[in-house]
């Protein structure tokens, strides 16, 4: 509440006009369009109101947090939807902390250490900075949940189904996020199996393989969203476009020195380099932000010095618990130091960002993968400090000196436009936390340790709260009921658009010379534009804009503004712009006439444009025929001035974005031009027969027509959707099949432990291998897992020893007697048989007749009366005995 008080109780909306303008200029409009499609039942994956049109599968539609926004927005309306964003953001922050706590609970850590580490995690720099972009705030929660289920599967391979489902959920959320998370989780699997189960390379390989196929099955289930996203990116998206070689992208790029100063400084505070007036390497969002609290800066140096002690404790706990695996102390020490160096090298090498960004160019968005590692370091170090009271004073002095130095520099420097109060708060909290750690380590202050832990938690909360507050305080944001809402939901604009729809049923484009946003009003107000702000633009459309209409570009290739290129009426006519809305009654565009007005909004219509279609005879365009760069796609170049004025073209807007119908009558052979992006997924049907498409003017659809009357239909099917759905269904069937096989196997009595730890896929592969080996080597005799543990009967035959009989006892006749787990702590009666000892009777006393007497928990502290019977020792009697000089005693088992 403190961090977001201006957004909850004040007049601010969690959408920014400054460096975070994507939120107000793009995301809110996109969510409004998806909500409207949901309300109208148009569940197609083509967004016709986003510029020239776009495949919606690339726009994070399946983000779990945003799906809540869509559903609630469909109920309360698009106008109230922006008010939800701060509450969704707060829920994502809380979810990150809870998920981190669940993950840390897998390890034997102190509860207070886990709570503090989870608190640092949910207020980490990535969530506070990149989380402002809505879809990224849920990413740390998904990553740490994936790691949680990986850890469970490592410890108990039978729990593989939960990891499969979580991986599918991760892929379903976003291909880009899943790509980064699964790379990291693959590395995590290799390291964790190395720590726990390294006995031989085959054993290590098969354990890693088990986790790999489990996660691969989850990826298969998520193919329904993964394959369409991959198809879109590889076919028409410009995201992967690059001219540089792979070797140069990995090893030829070098970071400037300012990158490393930014990397270090933002480790101590998210706003040390400023926000809008940023003074770093790139910008406030794209630069690395590894802040995990000032306490973590102190703990990281402590961790470097306490690694041997932590490793010794972990190895000791594993030995005491009687684990099946052995934890080697030396191996733990070496791995932890190597990991520290490796992580530091990765964040300093540009190639890491290139790998995590699909081998295109380097980005720092991947650095959220460091957050779970930081949480482990913080929790293990705090556990060592709390349980063993170990504080290395040299490490504390180093950490304090370095942290104070950076906080002082960014507090004193007048040229750095950062919030000075945040640097001062970090400085004060750093000194106070160091003092608490020193006092906690003193044996003479043992009675204060509980309060010192509370003080440490308070200072931690103050530190991260002030840092988070500095990211949101004083920002240039959308205001509740302000100009943004007045312009976007303007009554006069709504009346003008309603008049156009009621009087013209064809498929055309509408533009405006004003707006609440720079280029995305159309997604809220429901009309087809060419203006757009989209970082996943169709590469073919980009080629058209660069070659024919670059006047509409604003700042970069991602911003198209019609008002900048409105003077080029040929290109606007070719793109099907028929109506223009303006607030100026005198600014008449060439070739237009005023047809309607509402208040201060005037509607102008181009007299020579009917819809998004135009027809060009072969005599005019045949000389421009050619082949695209792929060598297969036919191309054509048209000029709007050369269109056939005699062609009768009627293009109807059916209300669904994925289908366009047209009735065409032409008197000569030619090319029919559609101002629809040339993209895989669109198909053209002429009189019911599918026709090949031409790429027209680098970016649009053209189709050859014979003279006559034709019925044309354009249909869009998201590329890869059908194949992805088939793979998803097949993967789900495999998941169900393996689960059924596992349940059937578990019901079998004669199944050894090694088999129950083996997955169905491994059994199938082993069976195939045995069959192949037998054909190659006839002398080879396969030994199925079920026959590995056998005994020899009296007649010489082999008798299988099932898993539940391995803990058997030998009866008088030599047969094995089963020993249940609840009888393993039995006692021996006089006749030599075992007597069951329930868990509630494990602490017992012996009566005079030799029988055991139950000792309830409330009577564990007892005294012996004069007659030899046991007397309960209550707290009131203990105090009375102390006053009389008596000493209390406890009886053992």
Q: Where are the domains of the chain?
A: 5-470, 485-606, 613-716, 748-799, 841-893
pTM of the model: 0.82
DSSP state, residue 26: I
Q: What is the domain class of 613-716 according to CATH?
A: mainly beta
The residues pairing with 36 across neighbouring beta strands, listed in sequence order, are none
pLDDT confidence of residue 867 = 57
Contact 277, 355 (CB under 8 A): no
pLDDT per residue as tens digits for the range 111-138 = 999 999 999 999 999 999 999 999 999 9
Residue 182 or 877, more confident: 182
Residue 439 backbone dihedrals phi, psi, to 5 degrees: -65, -35
3-state secondary structure of 439: helix
| pLDDT tens-digit series, residues 301-335 | 999 999 999 999 888 887 776 655 567 888 899 99
Residue 219 has pLDDT above 60, yes or no: yes
- Report whether 350 contacts 362 (CB < 8 A): yes
- Answer whether residue 456 shows pLDDT above 90: yes
pLDDT (0 to 100) of residue 741: 87
CA dihedral 131, 136, 140, 146 (to 10 degrees): 170
Mean pLDDT on 215-236: 89
Give buried/exposed letters for 248-271 (b at 16+ CB in 10 A, else e): ebbeeeeeeeebeebbebbbbbbb
Going by C-alpha positions, the residue among 731, 678, 726, 672 that lies closest to residue 702 is 672
* CA–CA dist 187, 685 (Å, integer): 49
Cβ-contact 523, 49 below 8 angstroms: yes
pLDDT at 822: 44
The highest-confidence range among 191-205, 429-443, 791-805, by mean pLDDT, is 429-443
Helices first, then strands: H and E counts in the chain: 31, 32
pLDDT at residue 843 in the model: 45
Question: pLDDT tens for residues 652-707?
Answer: 987 789 999 999 999 999 999 999 999 989 999 999 999 999 999 999 999 999 99
Read off the pLDDT of residues 280-291 as tens digits, 9 standing for 90 and up.
888 999 999 999
């Amino acid at each position: 509440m403190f961090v977001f008080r201006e957004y909850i109780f004040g007049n601010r909306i969690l959408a920014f006009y400054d460096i975070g303008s994507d939120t107000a200029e793009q995301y809110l409009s996109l969510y409004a369009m998806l909500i409207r499609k949901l309300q109208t039942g148009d569940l197609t994956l083509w967004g016709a109101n986003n510029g020239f049109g776009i495949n919606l599968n690339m726009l994070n539609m399946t983000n779990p947090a945003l799906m809540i926004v869509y559903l609630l927005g469909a109920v309360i309306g698009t106008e109230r939807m922006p008010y939800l964003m701060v509450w969704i953001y707060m829920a994502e922050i809380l979810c990150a902390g809870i998920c981190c706590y669940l993950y840390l609970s897998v390890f034997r850590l102190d509860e207070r250490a886990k709570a503090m580490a989870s608190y640092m995690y949910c207020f980490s720099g990535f969530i506070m900075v990149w989380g402002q972009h809505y879809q990224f705030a849920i990413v740390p929660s998904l990553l740490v949940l994936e790691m949680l289920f990986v850890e469970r599967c490592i410890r108990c391979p039978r729990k593989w189904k939960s990891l499969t489902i979580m991986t599918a959920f991760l892929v379903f959320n976003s291909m880009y996020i899943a790509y980064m998370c699964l790379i990291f989780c693959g590395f995590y699997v290799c390291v964790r199996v190395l720590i726990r189960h390294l006995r031989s390379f085959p054993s290590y390989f098969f354990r890693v393989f088990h986790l790999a196929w489990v996660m691969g099955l989850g990826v298969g289930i998520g193919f329904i969203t993964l394959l369409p996203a991959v198809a879109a990116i590889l076919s028409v998206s410009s995201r992967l476009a690059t001219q540089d070689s792979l070797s140069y992208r990995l090893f030829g790029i070098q970071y400037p020195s300012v990158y490393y100063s930014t990397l270090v400084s933002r480790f101590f505070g998210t706003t040390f380099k400023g926000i809008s007036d940023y003074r770093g390497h790139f910008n406030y969002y794209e630069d690395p932000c590894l802040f995990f609290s000032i306490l973590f800066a102190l703990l990281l140096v402590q961790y470097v010095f306490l690694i041997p002690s932590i490793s010794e404790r972990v190895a000791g706990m594993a030995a005491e618990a009687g684990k099946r695996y052995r934890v080697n102390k030396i191996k733990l020490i070496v791995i932890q130091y190597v990991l520290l160096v490796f992580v530091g090298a990765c964040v300093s090498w540009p190639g890491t960002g290139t790998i995590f960004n699909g081998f295109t160019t380097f980005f720092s968005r991947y650095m959220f993968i460091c957050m779970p590692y930081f949480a482990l370091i913080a929790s293990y170090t705090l556990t060592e400090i709390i349980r063993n009271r170990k504080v290395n004073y040299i490490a504390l002095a180093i950490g304090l000196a370095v942290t104070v130095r950076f906080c002082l520099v960014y507090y004193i420097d007048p040229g750095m436009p950062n919030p000075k109060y945040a640097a001062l708060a970090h400085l004060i909290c750093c000194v106070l936390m160091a003092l608490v750690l020193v006092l906690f380590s003193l044996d003479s202050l043992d009675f204060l340790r509980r309060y010192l832990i509370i003080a440490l938690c308070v200072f931690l909360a103050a530190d991260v709260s002030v840092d988070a507050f500095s990211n949101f305080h004083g920002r240039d944001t959308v205001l509740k009921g302000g100009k943004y809402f007045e312009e976007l939901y303007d009554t006069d604009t709504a009346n003008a658009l309603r008049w156009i729809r009621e009087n013209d049923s064809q498929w055309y484009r509408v533009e405006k010379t004003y707006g609440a946003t720079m280029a995305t009003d159309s997604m809220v107000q429901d009309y087809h534009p060419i203006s757009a702000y989209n970082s996943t633009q169709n590469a073919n459309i980009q080629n058209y804009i660069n070659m024919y209409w670059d006047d509409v570009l604003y700042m970069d290739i991602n911003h198209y503004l019609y008002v900048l290129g409105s003077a080029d009426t040929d290109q606007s006519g070719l793109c099907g712009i028929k109506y223009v809305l303006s607030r100026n009654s005198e600014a008449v565009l060439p070739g237009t006439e005023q047809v309607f007005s509402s208040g201060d909004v005037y509607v102008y219509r181009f007299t020579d444009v009917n819809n998004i279609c135009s027809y060009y005879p072969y005599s005019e365009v045949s000389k421009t025929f050619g082949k695209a760069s792929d060598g297969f796609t036919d191309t054509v170049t048209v000029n709007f001035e050369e269109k056939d004025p005699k062609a009768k073209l009627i293009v109807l807007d059916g209300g669904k974005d994925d289908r366009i119908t047209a009735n065409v009558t032409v008197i000569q052979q030619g090319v029919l031009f559609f101002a629809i992006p040339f993209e895989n997924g669109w198909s053209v049907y002429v009189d019911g027969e599918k026709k090949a498409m031409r790429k027209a003017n680098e970016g649009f659809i053209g189709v050859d027509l014979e003279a006559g009357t034709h019925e044309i239909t354009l249909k869009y099917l998201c590329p890869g959707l059908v194949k992805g759905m088939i793979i998803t269904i097949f993967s789900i069937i495999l998941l169900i099949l393996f689960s059924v096989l596992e349940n059937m196997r578990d019901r079998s009595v004669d199944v050894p432990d090694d088999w129950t730890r083996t997955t169905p896929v491994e059994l199938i592969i082993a069976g195939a291998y045995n069959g192949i080996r037998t054909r190659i080597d006839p002398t080879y005799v396969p030994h199925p897992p079920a026959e590995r543990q056998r005994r020899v009967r009296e007649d010489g035959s082999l008798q299988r020893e099932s898993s539940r009989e391995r803990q058997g006892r030998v009866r008088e006749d030599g047969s094995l007697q089963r020993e249940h787990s609840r009888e393993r702590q039995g006692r021996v009666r006089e006749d030599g048989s075992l007597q069951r000892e329930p868990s509630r009777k494990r602490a017992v006393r012996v009566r005079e007749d030799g029988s055991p007497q139950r000792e309830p928990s409330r009577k564990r502290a007892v005294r012996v009366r004069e007659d030899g019977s046991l007397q309960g020792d209550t707290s009131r009697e203990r105090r009375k005995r102390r006053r009389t000089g008596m000493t209390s005693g406890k009886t053992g088992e």
